[in-house]
Each structure stands twice: as structure tokens, then as C-alpha cells.
Structure 1
Amino acid sequence: MTPYVLLGIAIASEVFAEAMMKLSNGFENKKPIIGIIAGYLVAFYLMAQTLNDLPLGFVYAVWTGAGVALTALIGAAFWHEGFNAKKALGIVAIIAGVVLLKLGV
């Protein structure tokens, strides 16, 4: 698999873990904790694999930026946390930052 595909799966795994964290209700619900642990284990393992082929700064920027953007979208879609122009602009700024990092590689 290409490092970009692995990075995409790592991002999805991280976002899954974060969604499970929300479902755990402050760790009061125990079942989602399994998803948190599994999601982060997969995310960190795959992120480490991408570092064999891609620069650390770029990988971390994409991983965190996409994670923040997707988590905000999931929060808005599933937990009605709201989504407005300021949040959309923030996501655009994250994407722009990642593109600039990639152009600098």
C-alpha cells in the first residue's frame, strides 16, 4: 500500500477513536474504550509506517489537520455541535496549511 493510503487509514482510525471517546461519556461507558484503544493503536502504527517514506512534518500536519477537520464534521453531523462559517474557514485554513507544507517538501 502507498504511504498516502496508510496515512488515510491512520487518520480514519484516529477519528474513529475520538468518536468512541465521545461515546464513552467521560469513560463512564466502558464498551467504547475498546474502540478508543484499537483506533489509536492502528492510527499510531500506520502513521509510523508512513514515516518510512514521507517527511515527519508533512505526515504530522496531514494527520492532525485532517483529524481536526473530520472530527469537527463528525461532531456537527452526529452530535449536532454546530457548524458555521467560522468553523468552515478554520478547516479551509488547515487544508491550506497542509498544502503549503507539501509544496515545501
Structure 2
Amino acid sequence: MTYFYLAAAIMFEVVATTALKQTDGFTKLWPSLITIGGYALAFYFLSLPLRVLPVGIIYAVWSGVGIVFITAIGWVWFRQTLDLAAIVGILLIVAGVLVLNLFSKTLAH
């Protein structure tokens, strides 16, 4: 269940951050409510894997995967452009998350 909770935390954080773009400085009600609720659920679900796994590793995975998804949403949904440096940076984040998950003994519990 630990990775399910982490996945849920990532999903809620991505939804909240996507809605945050639409709040227009928290002047629009529904995107603001989605943002607040999404972050509340993200932090709740993020707290659950922290019971058994190290905070630094969990936070690295949570933020890294979130960054990749938010960048993809920005590119597809908001038509934001990505230059070569942005693409390389995102690929390095993906590589870092993969290294943590595939090779780090810190995640073994």
C-alpha cells in the first residue's frame, strides 16, 4: 500500500498544481477549491508512506514525478513550449527517480 499512497499523493498534487494555474490568483472559486482540496489530499497521502520510508527519498520521488507530469500537462494542455535544455532536465529528473527506485537500498523496507 505504501506505493499506492505515494501514487495517490502524486496524483492529487498534479491535479492541485494544474488547477492552481487556473485560479487566477485565487480569484476563481472552483479552481481555488480544487487546488486547496488537492493539496490537502496530496499531503495526507504523502504522510502515509513517510511512516515506513525515509523522507528525503519519498520527497524526491514525489516531487520528481510531479515535475514530470506537470511539465507534460503544461506542454499538452497549456501549449507551453519546451526547449532542449528543458527536455534534457526533465529526462535527468526521470533518470534520478529511476535510479532511486531501481538501485537504492534505502527504499527497501
TM-score after normalising by structure 1: 0.89
Q: Residue 95 of structure 1: CA displacement?
A: 1.8
- CA shift at 1:37, angstroms? 1.0
Gaps of 5+ in 1: none
**Superposed, which structure 2 residues align to 1:27-66 within 5 Å?**
27-66=26-65
Aligned residues: 104
In the alignment, the residues of structure 2 paired with residue 22 and residue 59 of structure 1 have an alpha-carbon distance, to the nearest angstrom, of: 25
Q: Percent sequence identity over matched residues?
A: 35
Query: Who is 2:14 aligned against?
Result: 15
Give the alignment's TM-score, normalised by structure 2: 0.86
What is the match of residue 75 of structure 1?
A: 74
Instruction: Indicate the residue corresponding to 1:88 in structure 2.
Output: 87
> Do the aligned residues in 2 keep the contact of 1:9 with 1:46 (CA within 8 Å)?
yes
d(CA) in 2 for partners of 1:51 and 1:27? 30
Using the TM superposition, give the Cα deviation of residue 26 of structure 1 relative to its aligned residue in structure 2, in angstroms. 1.9
Over aligned residues, Cα RMSD in angstroms? 1.4
Q: Which runs of 5+ in 2 are unaligned?
A: none
- Aligned residues of 2:14 and 2:69 also touching (Cα < 8 A): yes
Q: Do the aligned partners of 2:65 and 2:97 also contact (CA within 8 Å) in 1? A: no
Is contact 2:12-2:38 (8 Å) kept?
yes
**Secondary structure, counterpart of 1:80 in structure 2:** coil
CA distance in 2, matches of 1:13, 1:23: 16
